[in-house]
């Protein structure tokens, strides 16, 4: 009985080592060539952000104007992020005695915007406005310079 168990253990170890040698052999004997692919067309997105001047914190009008400029720029960046990444909506409703008692929803945006350009900043009545442009050709060049996305061009097995 011990003799059969030893034979079985040797045979099992040979089979398992044979599979792992074949697995490594297949990956050691190939050469993969990669090719970078660029899209034919790139979209251009625009966004406008607004901020009320009077509601901004500040000791004088100049400080309020600067704060409104910043707030409108951030609002424009948020709008660009909504266009690129989408907006997450969460909502809930409560019903008590067959009547709606509470109805809530929450919106959030999360993302990184690189390569946007400020086109114009100006006042519109009592608001400050900032216009942004996001050219995806520029975004593509930025992305290619940091991490080159590639596709398989050719695989050669030896």
Give the model confidence (pLDDT) of 36-79 as tens digits. 778 889 999 999 999 999 999 999 999 999 999 999 999 999 99
- Return the HEC string of 137-151: HHHHHHHHHHCCCEE
How much is the pLDDT for 21?
45
Phi and psi torsions of 91, nearest 5°: -145, 165
pLDDT band, very low/low/confident/very high, at 33 (cuts 50, 70, 90) = confident
- Domain span at residue 105 reads 1-158
Q: Please state the domain count of the chain.
A: 1
For residue 42, the number of C-alpha atoms closer than 13 Å in the C-beta half-sphere is 12
CA angle 41, 45, 47 (to 5 degrees): 175
How much is the pLDDT for 11?
55
Tens digit of each residue's pLDDT (9 = 90 or more) over 67-112? 999 999 999 999 999 999 999 999 999 999 999 999 999 999 999 9
């Amino acid at each position: 009985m011990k003799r059969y168990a030893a034979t079985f253990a040797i045979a099992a170890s040979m089979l398992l080592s044979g599979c792992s040698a074949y697995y490594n052999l297949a990956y050691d004997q190939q050469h993969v060539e990669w090719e970078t692919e660029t899209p034919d067309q790139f979209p251009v997105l625009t966004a406008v952000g607004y901020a009320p001047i009077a509601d901004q914190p500040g000791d004088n009008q100049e400080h309020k104007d600067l704060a409104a400029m910043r707030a409108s720029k951030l609002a424009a960046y948020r709008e660009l992020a909504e266009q690129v990444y989408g907006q997450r909506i969460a909502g809930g409703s409560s019903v008590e005695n067959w009547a709606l008692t509470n109805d809530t929803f929450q919106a959030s945006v999360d993302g990184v915007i690189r390569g946007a350009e400020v086109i114009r900043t100006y006042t519109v009545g009592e608001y400050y406005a900032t216009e942004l442009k996001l050219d995806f050709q520029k975004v593509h060049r930025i992305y290619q310079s940091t991490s080159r996305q590639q596709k398989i061009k050719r695989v050669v097995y030896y």
